[in-house]
Amino acid sequence: MERGVNPDLGLAILRVVVGVIFIAHGTPKLFAGGMEGTAGFFGSLGIPFPLVAAWLVALLEFLGGLSLVGGLLVTPVSLLLAIHMLAGIVLVHAQNGFYVVGPGSGGIEFNLLLIASLLVLVFGGPGIAAIDGRRAGTAT
């Protein structure tokens, strides 16, 4: 290993941080009364069965985030979360431009970064200290 280079550690750090971000977005929906607001917003977008969709999204964000933090089912969870972020771009953020803050506030920038991060986990693996790696017998 080249000095200072540890891709497995980098993947693990990315996996945990992205997982925490999704937990932080799912938690208020599930535990702080955010389900009604989320369902109302989904309904305003024309999403069918907005309350069901809100529950699915909240569970995906929260449980998917927990799954990433623990390194369990990283590939399928990352793909589902990337699709969720792509839907956010198409349905909400694209009309606001690129930037999250500043000109074009609310744009695609953050979603795009999350999609790229999730795809790195899909193609790079979960990194060290992941349940997936332990189950496969490859963890260090």
- Low-confidence stretches of the chain (pLDDT beneath 50): 139-140
pTM of the full structure:
0.89
Ranges of each domain in the chain: 7-136
* Three-point CA angle 67, 70, 73, nearest 5°: 45
Q: Is 129 left (phi over 0), alpha (psi -120 to 50) or beta?
A: left
Amino acid identity, position 50: P
- pLDDT per residue as tens digits for the range 63-97: 999 999 999 999 999 999 999 999 999 999 999 99
